[in-house]
Amino acid sequence: MLFKKGKIERVLVLAILALIVSLGNPEVSYAGSDVTPPVLKELTVSKQEATVGDEVKITADVIDDLSGVKRVSIRYDAPEGTAEKYTTLKLNSATGKYEGSLEIGKYDVAGHWKIDYLYVLDEQDNHYYYNNSYGGAEYKKETSEYIDLSPYDVLVFGTEEDKEPPKLEELQVTPKNVTQMDVVKVSADVSDNLSGVKRVSIRYDAPEGTAEKYTTLKLNSATGKYEGSLEIGKYDAAGHWKIDYLYVLDEQDNHYYYNNSYGGAEYKKETSEYIDLSPYDVVVSGTEEDKEPPELDDLQVTPTNVIRGEIVKVSANVNDNLSGVKRVSIRYDAPEGTAEKYTTLKLNSTTGRYEGTLEIGEYDVAGHWKIDYLYVLDEQDNHYYYNNSYGGAEYKKETSEYIDLSSYDVVVEETDKIAPITSLDITSTNPMKNEWYPSNVTASLSATDEEAGIKKVEYRINEGNWIEYTDAFEISQEGEVQLDYRSVDHAGNIEEIQTEIIKIDKTSPVTTTSEIPSGWGNEEIELSLTARDESSGVSSIEYRMNEGEWTAYDTPITIDEEGKHVIEYRSTDQAGNQEEIQTADVNLDFGSPATTMSSVSDEWHKSNVEVTLSSSDGLSGVSRTEYRVNEEEWATYDTSILVEGEGSNKVEFRSIDHAGNVEATQSKVIKVDKTAPVTTVEEVPTDWSNQDVELTLSSSDELSGVSSIEYKINDGEWKDYSDPIKLDQEGSTTIEFRSIDNVGNVEGIQNETIKLDKTAPVTSVNGVPEKWANKTTEITLTSKDQWSGVATIEYRMNEGEWTEYTGPITFQQQGENVIDYRSVDTAGNVEEFKSLTVKYDDHAPQTSAGDVGDKWQNSGIEISLSSTDPLSGVAKTEYRINEGEWKEYTTPVLIDEEGSHTLDYRSIDHAGNEEEVKSINVKLDSTAPDTAMSTEKRDGDMEVTLSSSDALSGVSKTEYRINQGEWKEYNSAILLSEEGTHTVDYRTIDYAGNVEAIQSTEVTIDKPSNDVTFKDIQGHWAEDKINYLVQNNLLTGYKDGTFQPDVNITRAEAATVISRELELEKIGSDFTDVSEDHWASGYIGAAAKANILSGYKDGTFHPNENLSRAEMATIVSRAYQLQGQTDIFSDTKGHWADSYIQTLAANNITVGYPDGTFKPEQEITRAEFASFVARVLEESFRVTD
């Protein structure tokens, strides 16, 4: 046998390059073969808006000049990437373009469908992706580029939305027990009420995942169900074939997976869920096992040296003695991995060999084509790869091996190695001048090749894309044009690029001038001419002035005469192109304009003054006349100037002509006073005054000056003012006054009112009480004033600070008080103050009682009352008992009756103030409490319970002593364990201090022997541990003489054993499901208080629930405060009790099960619990292995 099989599967990674290149031509590289992909020249879509039933036609112009186009396809993406459509474009031989269509379905998503990519492939498998950059930047890679394909978007509207996948209603599989060659029928009821079901498929997995079968179900129109079959082959694996998944897809590409949970929990995701599909298992039996792939015995390849166009025959001897050979295929790789060829070998029944061919195409790359791998597959899908190690070391894997396949290389040889030769001819309608053509040129190419012949001639302009030459072509681009050209023969030989530089200049030069004033200028001008020609360059410039002779331009032209001038100019380039004549106008004016103002007086004016200006200019004319007033901004003169400002106004004016000549500034001063003088008065009182007033007037005028001041009193005659005016009459007096300036402006009348009041106001009082008051007293003050009126009323109390009176005085100050009061008028006159006396007491007297405390007393009590009042004095004190009749207090109050009594008391003063009722509670109890005792047996012990009562003050504490020992306070049931007769003394004390007479009771305990051997533990694996705990009074058996070691232990029993062993004091339980009369209530309470056992979040304990191994580990570790950790159990990691379990193992209390597990949730038996507790208490019981 030529080849030996290995056993490692070869993993094929198929990388689809979705990287993207430009709509321009990718760079071409030839080596006697075709390594260049097709090029997309143009793309069109028939419409960019479509609805249901529309067909969008897509046309692409794609070329490949060598091996030819093999495929053109487009992928459109739905809005938000919810779906996609693939369209393959086919060649239309009539148009030479690739055409296809995009059909809009009823349930296609509405919105913008965008091209994701356009893909092109040639016959030599060179491919290229044009990917959509959605309007972003373009960038290239080797086999792809990103470009803007948004112009080919299609806006879909009017469709219905279908976002729901099909639904599986029912699945049937018959029969479920089969053997070789049987057919299993599979039927599924699948529905989709919108776009409809597109596909239903099932994957079955062989036992242990050794193989799989895929079944696609087709719609049976008669039954309305999707049906298919599963064929059982001779060599299919025996055992349970399970459904891995059932897949459903609708026409809108909404899909869903029903995955097999193999009986586990069901859970869902957005497009899948796990369900139990085990009822549809198929059990296969009676088949033969085939786990071995086919074997390759020998390989033949002839011939191994070929030229393009020849066929290589490949023959392989492959055998499989069980299920038989299904496929034999070979992949050959081109030199440097530029391409590959796949060959499938078919069985020749005559020779018994698998045979095929390798066709060497016209454009296949020359050199060594090597086998990458040979692949064999049998009918049972067992496969094997023979991979080429290219002469290196051989090594094997499970389903593949690397071997040397270099002896089967195919060498493709070159034949014609001489490139063709191309020549160029250039013609033009106008002759060339100075190496430049003044018009378009025509280029003609011709090529020769002595052997294979010319395949194509191509050219490019300015290093652009190569263009295949078919006929003479015109070059119209101006400037220096680089023409590259070459030819390619049928052997693939490419001529070295030839280059010709062609110079074309069809455009005349352009001449520009230096800056020229657009209108008139006022200075001589130097005119510069500049010419520019982008191609051949400027040859000459010429000009003429005012239609004179043409003169060659070499230096700037000077123009220095007043008047209007016309300059014409033009240029000629090196190719002979002459510019059209251009003109420039130059106008010069060197003289300024002249301006005059209308006549105006130099005296003061009492109103606005209006003046006019006029101007003239002999050449360019007046452009504008300007003026300004008082050196403000210059303004353009229109019809007249209105001088409105008061004072001396300087009006300046000038004119400017169109050449920019500015006249020297002229000016005129115009005086205006339109404002009357202003009179002021010195220090006039604005309010009422209580002193005589002198009024002084003064006047000012900033412009023409004051002429006179006048005044009059209370509508009297006007008088000239010369000296201050004296006013001394009480009441209100009005003075009016005004001034007049030298131009005659009269001030508006002003006035002042003078108010004089020299008499003080008078105050009266009301509401003063005659004797002691105990309620709020309101005292009212009123005042009168003849002239200015009362400004304020003031009062003060007991010679304190004066306070302004605003309303009745609410009087609450305790004791005898003196109030002074007075008024002040608006003019400031102050009244002499007057006085009154007020007596006030609104505080009730205060009464106190002797301290009797809040505790119960056991004898009679006397209570004394005392009262005080610092102002009006105490009138009387009263009391009452238990809300009876009020009595006046004279001597101490005696209370000697048992029970709780309330004593109320109060006092009243001479002002009538009554104290709020006060109370004290007096409690009297002279009777002792009463105690009762009961007993109950508990597992051989005696539980003693005491209960006590007191009718009045209540029980303070109960005490007991055993056999005349120390007295102890009773809190919970007393457990007597020692065998024999015990005397229990007990008594109770109440809160009043009454002590009950001592009571006594005898209690007898008779315990069974600890040497009991239970009839059901003899020979049991835990016998010694159980006996150890029984002998130590930690465990008991059942009344029938059994221990029942394999019965589960409850949480209540576990709490009892641990509490007894640790001698914990029993205490009541707070758990809602453990009542006080539960047999283990005290033990459960004790274990919970010691934090050995805990309850549940809902406040329950579950006393009758069986104990788990995890709970047992927690109880033992906590109870005996065990330390240490290990990590030996495989099933406790992450468990809530992991640390407690590992602590038991670290202390040799447990080693778990032989499989390395602990089984934390497994319930524990009485024997197991006894064993764990015994190992803690007695080291000899601990495990050592």
Q: What is the pLDDT of residues 280-294, one digit of tens each?
A: 999 998 888 888 899
Q: Pull the structure tokens for residue 503.
A: 């110079």
DSSP secondary structure, 91-145, as one string? EETTTTEEEEEEE--TTPPPEEEEEEEEEEEETT--EEEEEE-TTS--EEETTEE
Predicted confidence band of residue 827 (pLDDT cuts 50, 70, 90): confident
Q: Which pLDDT belongs to residue 1011? A: 56
pLDDT band at 18, cuts 50/70/90? Answer: very low
* Helix, coil or strand: residue 808: coil
Q: What is the pLDDT of residues 1096-1118, one digit of tens each?
A: 889 999 999 999 998 988 888 88
Q: How confident is the model over 467-488, as pLDDT tens digits? A: 999 999 999 999 999 999 999 9
pLDDT of residue 16: 26
| Helix and strand totals (H; E) in the chain | 6, 88
**Distance, CA of 76 to CA of 83 (rounded, Å):** 9
Residues 994/996/997/1001 CA torsion (nearest 10 deg): -170
Q: Quick one: average pLDDT of 510-537?
A: 89
* Of the candidates 431, 463, 458, the residue with the CA atom closest to the CA atom of residue 447: 458
Q: Are 950 and 958 in contact (CB under 8 A)?
A: no
Residue 137: pLDDT above 80? Answer: no
Q: Domains (ranges, CATH) in the chain?
A: 39-156 (2.60.40.1930), 167-284 (2.60.40.1930), 295-413 (2.60.40.1930), 421-504 (2.60.40.10), 510-588 (2.60.40.10), 594-672 (2.60.40.10), 678-756 (2.60.40.10), 762-840 (2.60.40.10), 846-915 (2.60.40.650), 930-1005 (2.60.40.10), 1023-1181 (no CATH)
Q: Running DSSP on this structure, what letter comes out for residue 437?
A: B
pLDDT in tens, 321-365: 888 899 999 999 988 766 788 999 999 999 999 999 999 887 777
Three-state SS letters, 830-880: ECCCEEEEEEECCCCCEEEECCCCCCEECCCEEECEEEECCCCCEEEEEEE
- Give the pLDDT mean for 410-429: 87
Rounded Cα gap, residues 1134 and 1162, in angstroms: 17
CB burial string 207-234: b at 16+ within 10 A, e below: eeeebebebebeeeeeeebbbbebebbb
- Kindly report, residue by residue over 1043-1057, the tens digit of the pLDDT: 888 989 999 888 888
Model confidence at 10: pLDDT above 50:
no
The answer to whether the Cα torsion of 635, 638, 641, 642 is positive or negative is negative
Strands 777-784 and 762-766, by their bridges, are: antiparallel
Q: How far is CA 267 from CA 166, 203, 259, 260, 721, in A?
A: 18, 20, 10, 11, 113
What pLDDT, on the 0 to 100 scale, is given for residue 476?
A: 92
The Cα-based distances of 573 to 501, 507, 531 in angstroms read: 20, 9, 9
| Per-residue pLDDT at 28 exceeds 70 | no
> Across-strand partners of 762?
784
Higher-confidence position of 674 and 7 = 674
Q: Residue 1012: pLDDT band by 50, 70, 90 thresholds?
A: low
* pLDDT score at 41: 92
**Residue 185: band (very low, low, confident or very high) from pLDDT cuts 50, 70, 90:** very high
Calpha distance 58→97 (Å, rounded)? 10
Strands 139-141 and 510-513: unpaired
Q: How many CB atoms lie within 10 A of CB 704?
A: 17
pLDDT band (50, 70, 90) for residue 1007: low
pLDDT at residue number 743: 86
User: What count of other Cβ atoms lies within 10 Å of the Cβ of residue 287?
Assistant: 20
pLDDT (tens digit, 9 = 90+) per residue, 152-175? 999 988 888 888 899 999 999 999
- With a CB cutoff of 8 Å and minimum separation 6, the contacts of 447 are 420, 421, 422, 423, 454, 457, 487, 495
Q: Shortest CA distance to 74 belongs to which of 110, 29, 44, 32?
A: 44
**pLDDT tens digit sequence for 250-269:** 888 889 999 998 654 454 56
Q: How many CB atoms lie within 10 A of CB 464?
A: 12
Give the residue-averaged pLDDT of 406-432: 87
pLDDT for residue 189 is more than 90: yes
CA distances from 212 to 243, 380, 597, 1036, 1038 (A): 9, 10, 116, 62, 60
DSSP 917: P
Torsion of CA 796, 797, 801, 802, to 10 degrees: -10
Sheet containing strand 479-489, strands side by side: 467-468, 454-461, 479-489, 498-504
Question: Is residue 394 over pLDDT 80?
Answer: no
Taking the C-alpha atoms of residue 348 and residue 604, their distance in angstroms, rounded to an integer, is 136
Alpha-carbon torsion (578, 581, 582, 586), positive or negative: positive
- DSSP E strand stretches across 617-705: 622-629, 635-636, 641-643, 647-657, 666-672, 678-682, 693-700
- In this prediction, residue 262 carries a pLDDT of 66
Q: State yes or no: pLDDT of 33 exceeds 70.
A: no
Question: So what's the pLDDT on residue 1010?
Answer: 53
Measure the CA angle with vertex 509, ends 505 and 513; round to 5°.
165
The residue with tokens 């407690």 is 1140
Mean of pLDDT over the chain: 86
User: pLDDT value at position 841?
Assistant: 84
Q: Which two tokens stand for residue 1131?
A: 């099933």
Q: What is the pLDDT of residues 432-448, one digit of tens each?
A: 888 899 999 999 999 99
Q: Is the dihedral of CA 1008, 1010, 1012, 1014 positive or negative?
A: positive
Percent of the chain at pLDDT > 70 equals: 94
pLDDT at 208: 77
Mutual orientation of helices 1081-1089 and 1051-1061 as an angle, nearest 10°?
Answer: 70
Residue 17 banded pLDDT, cuts 50, 70, 90: very low
